[in-house]
Amino acid sequence: MAKKLKVYTVLRKTVHSSPEFFGPDSDLPDWAVKALAGKDHLFTKDDGKSQIIATIPNPSDEVPPREVKPTGSAQVREPAATELGKPDTVDPNADELEEPRRNASELAWREFAEDRGVPVTESMGREAIITACEEAEVIEAK
């Protein structure tokens, strides 16, 4: 019966050859068996059964689930009015986008403004969107 590795290993046939990779399921060629002579700790025992080196617990076993304890009232900010003059409704459970950096793309600012209820048009550029957010008091004016 051929020797079977219980760990992964990398060997070179000669100094100038490319490395070859062997693992527990690999059949070792004769030159690899000779190269690993005397390193019996790398091989499974003669009974043909592989040994478990380490047991890693599942992440769900390590960390207990978080308990959510709702307390207090939900804080909802009044959104800016839409082009029709009607305020948008705000879902207090919705995730709000973080304020982008001043040099962020126009698309990032457009998404942020729309998320916060600031009316924007297709013709508005990045600076105009930032100004609209400042006027709606969604961000601090600089």
Helix (H, G, I), strand (E, B) or coil at 74: coil
Q: What are 5-55's pLDDT values in tens digits? A: 888 888 888 888 888 888 887 788 888 888 888 888 887 775 545 555 667
| pLDDT tops 80 at residue 135 | yes
Q: Which amino acid is at 54?
A: A
- For the chain, the average pLDDT equals 76
Share of the chain above pLDDT 70, in %: 62
Q: What are 57-73's pLDDT values in tens digits? A: 666 555 566 666 666 65
Domain ranges of the chain: 1-53, 78-142
**Among the listed residues 124, 130, 121, 131, the one whose alpha carbon sits nearest the alpha carbon of residue 103:** 130
| Threshold 0.85, pTM exceeds | no
Each residue of 78-93: b (16+ CB within 10 Å) or e? ebbeeeeeeeeeeeee
